[in-house]
Amino acid sequence: MATAAKLIELAGKRFKVETSQMTPDQDFFQALNIDSIQALELLSDIEMEFDVEIPDYELQGVVTFDALAALIDKRR
């Protein structure tokens, strides 16, 4: 499974949003309707699931699931 798809699945499970309602090019804050603290929960989930470490500052300007997936792939 592509990273973006896995990411959507993970985020959907965490925040109880149907994966079918989300697309890789969507703004994940809007798609998931989350705040900054929930974004940190998602970051922890991502780091654990993909076994990567993502410093917060690398997330500056990362808005879509696709962009987030690219960041994860670079770190693996």
Partner 1 sequence: MIDCHFDPKDGIYELVLNRAPCNEIGSAMLLALEEVLETIDPNKGKALILRSGSAKGFCAGADLRELYEGVLAHPDGGHEAKLREFLDRIHSVMDRLDTLAMPTIGVVHGVCFGGGFELALTCDILIAEKTARFCFPELRLGIIPGFGGIPRLKRDVGNALVRDLLLTGRSINAKKAVQVGLVSQMVAVGEGPNVARAMARQTAHFDGDAMRTCKSFIKPLPTEELKQEKEHFLRLFKNPAVKAALKTFYESDDVRPYL
Residues that bind partner 1 (CB under 8 A): 29, 34-37, 39-41, 43-44, 47-48, 53, 55-57, 59-60
In contact, 72 and 8? CB cutoff 8 Å: no
Nearer to partner 1, 16 or 57 (CB): 57
Residue 36 CB, nearest approach to partner 1 (Å): 5
Residue 44 CB, nearest approach to partner 1 (Å): 4
Q: What is the DSSP string of 21-40?
A: G--TTSBHHHHHT--HHHHH
Query: Which residue matches tokens 């804050």?
Result: 29
